[in-house]
Amino acid sequence: MSLPLVVLLPFLGAVAAPLFAQGGRTAIAVASSVPALIALAALFPHWETLADGGVVLHSYEWLPAMGLSFSFRLDGLSLLFALLILIIGLLIILYARYYLKAYENVGKFYALLLCFKGSMLGIVLSSNLLLMMIFWELTSLTSFLLISFWTHKQDARRGARMALAVTGGGGLALLAGILIIGNIVGSFELDDVLAAGDQIKAHAMYPVALTLVLLGAFTKSAQFPFHFWLPHAMQAPTPVSAYLHSATMVKAGIFLMARLYPALAGTEQWFYMVSFTGMATLLIGAYVAMFKHDLKGLLAHSTVSHLGLITLLFGMGTQLAAVAAVFHVINHAIFKASLFMAAGIIDHETGTRDMRRINGLWRYMPHTATLAMVAASSMAGVPLLNGFLSKEMFFAESLELNLPGLIAWLPPIVATLAGIFAVAYSARFIHDVFFNGKPVDLPIYPPHEPPRYMKIPVEILVFACIMVGLFPAVAVGPLLFLAASATLGGEVPEYTLAIFHGFNLPLFMSFVAFFGGLLMYSQRQRFFDFHARFREIDEKAVFENIVLRIVDLANSVTARLENGSLQRYALLLLVSVIAVAAMPLLDLGIFVGENGLSPVDAPTAIAAAVLILCAFATAGLHRQRFYALVLLSVVGLVVALAFARFSAPDLAMTQLSVEVVTIVLLMLAIYYMHPWTPVETPLKRRVRDIAIAGVAGIGMTLVTLAMLTQPFSSISEFFLANSKPGGGGTNVVNVILVDFRGFDTLGEITVLAIAALGIYAMLKDTALTPPPSDGAGHAWARDAHPLMLSLIARPMLPLALMVSAFIFLRGHNLPGGGFIAGLITSIALILQYIASGMEWTEDRIRLRYHNVIGLGLLFATVAGLGSFAFGYPFLTSTFDYITWPVVGKFEVASALIFDLGVYLAVIGATLLSLVTVGRLSPHSAIRPKQEGA
Amino acid sequence: MNHWLTAPVLIPLLGGILQAFMGYAPISLRRTLALATTFLMLVSAIVLLIMANDGSYRIYAFGNWQPPFGIVLVLDRLAALMLVMTAVLALFCHVFSIGGADEGNRQFHGLFLFQLMGLNIAFLTGDLFNLFVAFEVLLIASYGLLMHGGGTVRTVPGLHYVVLNLIGSAVFLISVGMIYSVTGTLNMADLAVKVPQISGEGLSIVKAGGMMLLVVFGLKAAILPLCFWLPRAYSKATAPVAALFAVMTKVGIYAILRVYLLIFGDDAGKLANLGMDWLFPIALATLAMGVIGALGSGTLKTLVAWQVIISVGTLLAPIALGSEAGLSAALFYLLSTTWTVGGLFLVSELVANQRGSAKDRIITAPKMQSRTFLSVLFLVGAVAAAGLPPLSGFFGKVLILQSAEAGTEMAWLWSVLLTGSFLTVIAYSRAGSIVFWRTVDGHLNKPDPLNGRVSVAAGALTALAIAMVVLAGPIMAYTDATAAQLHNADAYIEILQTPMVGEDS
Amino acid sequence: MELVFALVIGALTSSGVYLILRARTFPVVVGLTLLSYGVNLFLFSSGRLATGQQPIIGTAASYADPLPQALVLTAIVIGFAMTAFVVVLSLRNLADNEDDHVDGKQPYKSPAPEEEEEVTGK
C-alpha cells in the first residue's frame, strides 16, 4: 500500500495546501512539505528489500480490458529518482517560501508544485506503462501551469504553451510507441516488457516503436532539435526552474531511456539515434550557454548540454556508460539545482539577471558567492567535486566506442570540446557575477545577503557536491549501484568510484578541457564578436508565428468551406444523395418488372400532363410569386385527384384540406414578401442546378418505374384481415392510424402541436410591414373584410361544424376521421377570420388555442393510458356497437377518444399558426393582443 | 408487457402537455414542474438501464399488436445507454436553463420536454417509419429551441438548419418507400429477416434506399460534407440548448449503429455492411475538418461546436472498422464526449457573460469575474475534450487506438487521431491562455455574479469527465456487453416471437 | 399507367430540387412543397397502384395496400407542420434582415470570391 500512498499523497496535499494559504507563507510551506516527509518515511523500510536485490511491487486491478492496472514498482532506479524528486522537492518548498512575495498566490503555487511532484513520482514509480503515460502527460499539464504561473507575463504564457506543445506532443508519440510495445508484448506491465526485450527488438514494428518512444523522451529531455522549449521555460519563477529543469521534468525523458534500456537498447538504431542526438545536444547547448547574458539562460543551456551528455552516455550502449549516465544524473541534479537557487537569490537581491550589469557581487554577498562558486566549479568538472567524477567516466567511455575509421575520434573530440565550453561558461558565471569590477546600475542597490533560511537549501546541496566529490563510494556508492543494476537489468560491470584513476587519457582530456576553457574565457570578447555576427533567433517568436500561420490557414480553409451559404450546403446534400444512390440505380437502369405496364386512360393521362406542366411551370415562373403560388395549388389539387384515382380516398381528402390551409398560409406570407424574386444567380449556376434537378428527377422516375412493376407482398394482409375483427372499423387506413400504428399518429399530432407552439414563440415579438402595393403596383383594397364574404362565411361555420362532426364519426368505417374533420373545422374558422377579421372572430370564438392543442394531446394520451387499467399495453383499443339516430348502427371504439384528440390537436395547431401569422402586421386592422404564452 | 418502457416517452409527453396548459402559470411553478419531469425521466432511464443490463431484449407492442404489424419499442443495452446519457445531459442543461436562459419565452420548457420525448422515441423504437416520426418530433422541437432567446443572430443559421433537415426528411421518406416497396415491412427485426432474402432488381432498390438512409443519418450526425450547417447553428443557440444539441449528432450515430448493424449487418447477405467502406475515410476526413475548424475558430462556442464535429469523426472511424472492440471503445468515447462538449458549451456561456462586450470571442479583454472557477472548469473540459490524461477523453481515445487491427487502417486512424489531438491541444491552450490570462486593464460594467444553478450545472456536467474515470471499470464492462449484444443480430430478431398480452406463449 | 405515374414523380422531384437550390426563401419553400408532393406520391406508390380498390372492408373484391396510405397521411400532416414552420421562419428572416435572401444580409456573405454572385444582389 505504501507505494500508491507515496504517489497519491502529493495530490491530496495539493488539495489541502491552499487551505493553509491564509496562515501565511510559512504555514503553507510547512503543510506542503508533509507529503514528502511521509513519503520518505514510507520508502525507507523498503531499502532492505532493494539491497537484497529485490523489487517492491504493489499492484491493483483497474481496467484489465485496457491493460491498465494501478500498479507501482520500486527498484534501484525508481528509488534514486524518487529520492531526487522528494528531497530536492523539500528544499524547493523551503526556498520558495522566501522567494515568493507575500501578495502572490502562494496557494496556487504550492498546489501546482505538489501536483507536479505527484505526477513525477507517478512516472518513476509506475509499474504499468499506460499508468506511467497518464502521469507523463500530467507533468506536461502541471508544468504548463507552473511555467505560466505569472500569467500576466506574455513571455511566461508563450513559454508555457511552447513547453506544452512540445512535451505534450511528444507525449502523444510516446503513447503510440507504448501501445505498439504493449501489442508486441501483450502486456503493459513493466516486468513483462523488460523481460521481453529480445522479442521487442526482433519485431517488425520495433523501429517504429523505438522512434516514437524516443520522440517522447527527447522532447521531454529537451534534446536537439526539440531543445528550444527549455530555455523559454525559464520565464517560470526560479523555484520552478530549479525543480523542473534540474532534477525532475527534464529528467523524465532520461528516466524513460534508463527504464526501457533493457527492452529497447542495444541495437544499431538505438545507438545511432540516441548517441548522435546526445552529441548534437551536448555541443549545441554548451556552445550557446557561453553567450547567454541572462544568468538563468546560461544555466538553462548548460542543462540542455548536460542532458545531451547523459543521453549520449545511454546511447553508447556499454554497461559502464550506463553507470556513468546514472551517476551524472545524480550529480547534475545536485549542482544544477543549487546553481538555479543561487541565480534566484541573486535575481531576488539585485532585481536583475543580466550578467552585464551584475558584477563584483563578492563584496556584497560573499556567503552566497562561495556557495555558487563551488557549485559552478562542480558544473565545470573541477576535481574533488562530484561533477568531475562522472565527467571523467564520460571521457573514458567516449574513448571506448568502437566506431569505424575517423568517426571513432568524433565522440572524444566532441566531449572535450563540450568540456572546454563548460569550463568557459562556468568561469564566466563565477567571474562575471562575483568579480569583474562593479555592479552596473542595479534595480536594487546595494544588494545584500538573502534571508538566512533561503540559503539553507543551497548549502545542503553544495555540501552534497563536496561529499560526493570526496567520498563517492560512501556518499552515493550503494544507491548508484542499485540504480545501475536496475537500469541494466541485473548485471553490473566492474567500476570504481575513485577520485584518481592514475594519469590516463581521460585525465588528460580533463586538463585540456579545464585550461582550454579558461583560455577561451580570457579570450571571450573575440568569441562574442564572432557569435554576434549571427542573428539570434527567438524560438518563442518563431513558435508563435507558426501557430498563427496554422490558425490563419485553418481560418481561411474554414471560411471557404463553411461559407454560410445555404445554396452550397443544400447542393452538397443533394449531390451526396444522388452520388450514393447513383451506383445501384445505374445497375438498375431502365427496368420494367414482370408485372409490366398497365394501360393508361385518357383522363389520367390529361391530369398527369397538367400536373407535370404545372410543376415545371411553378419552377419556371417562380419569380412571379403569385403565379407560382396559383400553379402550386393546382399541382396540389391534381395530387389529391391522383390519390382519389388510385383508391386512396382518405389521402385525397387530407391532401385537399391540407392544400387549402397551406395555400392560405402562403398567401398570408407573400402578402408580406416582395411580390417577385430578383434574378441573381448567373446562368452557369442555373444550368448546373437544372442538370442536378434533372438527374434527381430521372432517378426518381426510374426507381418508381422499377418499383411499380415489381411483384409485391407486404404485411398489410394482416391489417386487412384484422381491421374489422380486431380494430372494429372497416376503414383500414383509419384503423391503422388510430390503432395498429396509433403511436405514429400520436407522434405526428405532437409534431403539429410543437410546430404551432414554436411558430407562436418565434413570432411573438416580431412585426412586419407589408409592401404598400402588390406586384402590379395596385394598392391593397381599402376594406379589410368585404361584406359579401362575411355574409356568406358566417352561416357556413355551423354547417362546416356539422360536416366535420359527420366526417369525424364515420371516419372509423368510411373515409374521414380526426384529421380531415379537424382540418375542415379549421378551414371554416379561418374563413371567419378572413371574412370578419380577428377582433370580431375572437370576440365570438373564445378559444385559447394553446389549451385546445394541450387538450388534444391529452385526450390522445389518456385514451392510450386507459388500456393500462386493463393490463393491456398503451393504445390498446376496445369497441362496442350502439345504434345512433342519423348515423345508424355505429360502433364506438375507445380509439374514437384518441381520434378526438387528433381532431382537437389539428384544430388548435392550425389555427394557432395561422392566427399568429395573421397578427404579424402592425398595420393590419388586427392589434396583437398582449397575451404571452 | 412491461410498461416501464413507455416511461421515457410518456413522462416528457405529459410534462410537455402540462406546460402547454400553463402559459399563464408563474414561472417558478412551470420551472419546478418541468425540472421534476426531466428528473423523473432520468429515474425511468436508470431503471431501464438496470433492466437492460441482464442482456435480454424487452419489447413493448403498442396496441398489443404482434410485431411486425404493430409498432414496438425495443429495449436493449444500447438503447438504455443512450437514454441515460441523454437524460443526464438533459437534467444539467435544464438546471442551467432555469438559471435565467429560459426567460422571455413561455414555450421553452414545453419544447425542451418534447425534444426529449423525440430523442427517447428514436432510441427505443423498433420500427423504421416510427424512427422517422421520432426524428420529426425531435427536429421540430429543436427548431423551436434553436430560435429561442430572441434577437436576430439565430434566424439565418436556424433557417439553414431547418431547410437542410426538411430535405433530409424527404430523403428519409424516399428511402423508407424504397425499402418497403421490396421488403413489404417496416419493423426493423422483420427487415433484418427479409433483407438477406432479397434478390434481383430488388437488391438495387434496397441498396439505393439504404445508402440514401446513410446520407440522412450522416446529415444528422454532421459528417463531412454535411457538417457545415452545424458550427453557426450551435454556436448561436442559447447555451443550454446548444449543450443539449450535443446529443443530436449522436442520434444520427445511434441510427447508423442500429440500422447498419441490425438490418445491413454481417448477416445481410449481398447487402452486408452496406456503406461501411465509405464511412471510414469520411470519418477521418470529418475528424480532420473538425480540427481545422477548431484551430480557426474565433470564439469559444465555435471552438466547441467544431469539437462536436471532431468527436463525430472520432466516433465513426472505429464504428466503420466494425470490430467489437472498436464499437465498445466508440460507445465509451460517445458517453465522454457528449457530456464534455455539453459542459464546455455551458462554461463558454458563463465566460461570455463575464467578459462584457468581448463575450466569448478569443481576444484580449479586461479580467473577468470569478476567473479561477471558470478557468478550472474550462481546463477540465478542454483536457477531457482534447483527450489528454487523466480524464475520460483520454481513456476513450486509447481504447479506440487499441481497437484498430494492425494494417493500413490502423496507420491512418492513429496518425489522424493523434495529430488531431495534438492540434486540438494547441487550439485549446491558445484559446484558454488568451481568454483567461491575456487581460488588459479596463472597466467592465459589473456583470451579475454566477448564480448557484448555472455554476452547479456547468460544474457538474464538466466534472462527469472525472466521474467517468472513477467508474471506468463498470462503464467499460457495460459498453463491452453492449458491443457484443449489437454484434449478435439474431437475438434481436427473436423479439418477433414475443407473445402478446392474453396470448399464451 | 406506371410510367405516367413515374414521370409525374420525376417532374415533381426535379422542379422541387431546382427551386430548393434558389437563393430566396419563397422559391425554397415552394420547392420543398413540390418535393414533398413527389415524395408523398412515391411513398404512396410503394404499395403499388390500384384502381377502385379503396381499402374499406366490404367495398371491393381486393384492396389496395392500406399501410403506405396511412404512412403518407402521417407524412402529409407532418409535412404541413414543417411547411408552416419554415414559412414562418422565412417571415422571421424577412423581419430580421429586411430581406428574404436565404443567407440573410451582408455580414453573412461569404468571403470566398467565387461565391460572390451566389449571395450578392438584392
Q: Model confidence over A588-615: pLDDT tens digits?
A: 878 888 888 888 889 999 999 999 999 9
Measured over the CA atoms of residue A896, residue A901, residue A903 and residue A906, the dihedral's sign is negative
C42/B169 touch (CB, cutoff 8 Å), yes or no? no
Choose, out of A646, A683, A814, the residue to mutate when testing the contact with C (most C CBs < 10 Å): A646
- Residue environment code for B245-265, b if the CB has 16+ CB neighbours within 10 A, otherwise e: bbbbbbbbbbbbbbbbbbbbb
CA-nearest residue to C40 within chain B is: B173
C46/B178 touch (CB, cutoff 8 Å), yes or no? yes
Residue C41 near chain B (CB below 8 Å): no
Interface predicted TM-score (ipTM): 0.94
Q: In this structure, are residues A905 and A822 in contact, taking their beta carbons and an 8 Å threshold?
A: yes
Q: In this structure, are residues B473 and B399 in contact, taking their beta carbons and an 8 Å threshold?
A: no
- What pLDDT sits at residue A835? 81
- What pLDDT sits at residue C114? 37
Which of B435-444, C74-83, C94-103 is predicted most confidently? Answer: C74-83
Using a CB-CB cut-off of 8 Å, the residues of chain B touching A556 are: 296
Identify the chains in contact with C, defined as 3+ C-beta pairs within 8 A.
A, B
C80/A680 touch (CB, cutoff 8 Å), yes or no? no
Using a CB-CB cut-off of 8 Å, the residues of chain B touching A563 are: 228
The C-alpha atoms of residue C49 and residue C2 are separated, in whole angstroms, by 8
CA-nearest residue to C109 within chain B is: B156
The mean of the pLDDT values for chain A is 88
- What pLDDT sits at residue B277? 87
Is it the case that residue A797 has pLDDT exceeding 90?
no
B64/A744 touch (CB, cutoff 8 Å), yes or no? no
Query: Among A821, A803, A800, which Cα is nearest to A812's?
Result: A821
Using a CB-CB cut-off of 8 Å, the residues of chain A touching B430 are: 161, 547, 551
- What pLDDT sits at residue A775? 56
DSSP B470-482: HTHHHHHHHHHHH
Question: For A718, which of B16, B69, B143 is closest by C-beta distance?
Answer: B69
- What pLDDT sits at residue A890? 62
A137/B388 touch (CB, cutoff 8 Å), yes or no? yes
3-state SS of A781-821 is CCCCCCHHHHHHHHHHHHHHHHHHHHHHHHCCCCCCCHHHH
pLDDT tier, A924 (very low <50, low <70, confident <90, very high otherwise): very low
Choose, out of C71, C102, C110, the residue to mutate when testing the contact with B (most B CBs < 10 Å): C71
The lowest-confidence range among A209-223, A830-844, A893-907 is A830-844
CA distance C79 to chain B (A): 9
CA distance A678 to chain B (A): 19
pLDDT in tens, A373-396: 999 999 998 888 999 999 999 998
Identify the chains in contact with A, defined as 3+ C-beta pairs within 8 A.
B, C
pTM for this structure?
A: 0.93
CA-nearest residue to B129 within chain C is: C71
CA distance A619 to chain C (A): 5
pLDDT tier, A713 (very low <50, low <70, confident <90, very high otherwise): confident
A875/B117 touch (CB, cutoff 8 Å), yes or no? no
Choose, out of B155, B165, B186, B228, the residue to mutate when testing the contact with C (most C CBs < 10 Å): B155
B156/A564 touch (CB, cutoff 8 Å), yes or no? yes
Q: In this structure, are residues B339 and B230 in contact, taking their beta carbons and an 8 Å threshold?
A: no
Q: In the predicted model, what is the mean pLDDT of residues A806-813?
A: 84
- Beta strand pairing call for A56-63 and A68-74: antiparallel
- What pLDDT sits at residue C117? 35
- Beta strand pairing call for A888-893 and A879-884: antiparallel
The C-alpha atoms of residue A587 and residue B411 are separated, in whole angstroms, by 34
Q: In the predicted model, what is the mean pLDDT of residues B390-396?
A: 94
Q: What is the DSSP letter of B55?
A: S
CA distance B156 to chain A (A): 9
Query: Among C50, B456, B376, which Cα is nearest to A645's?
Result: C50
The lowest-confidence range among A139-148, A528-537, A920-929, B108-117 is A920-929
CA distance A874 to chain B (A): 5
Q: Name the grid cell of B111.
A: 419544447
Is it the case that residue B163 has pLDDT exceeding 60?
yes
- Residue environment code for A359-392, b if the CB has 16+ CB neighbours within 10 A, otherwise e: bbbbebbeebbebbbbbbbbbbbbbebbbbbbbb
B111/A758 touch (CB, cutoff 8 Å), yes or no? yes
CA-nearest residue to A182 within chain B is: B402
pLDDT in tens, B487-502: 988 899 998 888 888 7
CA distance C75 to chain B (A): 8
The C-alpha atoms of residue A233 and residue A221 are separated, in whole angstroms, by 13
B152/C97 touch (CB, cutoff 8 Å), yes or no? yes
Choose, out of C88, C105, C119, the residue to mutate when testing the contact with A (most A CBs < 10 Å): C88
Question: For A632, which of C30, C51, C55 is closest by C-beta distance?
Answer: C30
Question: For B156, which of C74, C78, C108 is closest by C-beta distance?
Answer: C108
Is it the case that residue A335 has pLDDT exceeding 90?
yes
The C-alpha atoms of residue A324 and residue A396 are separated, in whole angstroms, by 10
Is it the case that residue B385 has pLDDT exceeding 90?
yes
Q: In the predicted model, what is the mean pLDDT of residues A454-481?
A: 91
Using a CB-CB cut-off of 8 Å, the residues of chain A touching C94 are: 672-673, 768
Using a CB-CB cut-off of 8 Å, the residues of chain B touching A758 are: 107, 111, 140-141, 143-144, 147
pLDDT tier, C121 (very low <50, low <70, confident <90, very high otherwise): very low
Question: For C20, which of B136, B167, B180 is closest by C-beta distance?
Answer: B167
Residue C118 near chain A (CB below 8 Å): yes
Percent of residues, chain B, with pLDDT higher than 70:
100
A747/B65 touch (CB, cutoff 8 Å), yes or no? no
pLDDT in tens, A556-571: 999 888 888 899 999 9
Is it the case that residue B503 has pLDDT exceeding 80?
no
Q: In this structure, are residues A895 and A739 in contact, taking their beta carbons and an 8 Å threshold?
A: yes
C91/A917 touch (CB, cutoff 8 Å), yes or no? yes
Is it the case that residue A450 has pLDDT exceeding 80?
yes
B337 contacts: CB under 8 Å, gap ≥ 6: B307, B311, B314, B315, B385, B393, B396
C2/A636 touch (CB, cutoff 8 Å), yes or no? no
Query: Among A856, A850, A851, A858, which Cα is nearest to A904's?
Result: A856
The C-alpha atoms of residue B111 and residue B238 are separated, in whole angstroms, by 14
Question: For C94, which of A672, A679, A708 is closest by C-beta distance?
Answer: A672
A148/B433 touch (CB, cutoff 8 Å), yes or no? yes
The mean of the pLDDT values for chain B is 92
Cα angle A431-A432-A435, degrees, rounded to a multiple of 5:
60
A612/C121 touch (CB, cutoff 8 Å), yes or no? no
Q: In this structure, are residues A314 and A278 in contact, taking their beta carbons and an 8 Å threshold?
A: yes
Q: How many residues comprise chain B?
A: 505
Q: In the predicted model, what is the mean pLDDT of residues B70-96?
A: 96
Question: For A757, which of B20, B65, B204 is closest by C-beta distance?
Answer: B20
Residue C110 near chain B (CB below 8 Å): no
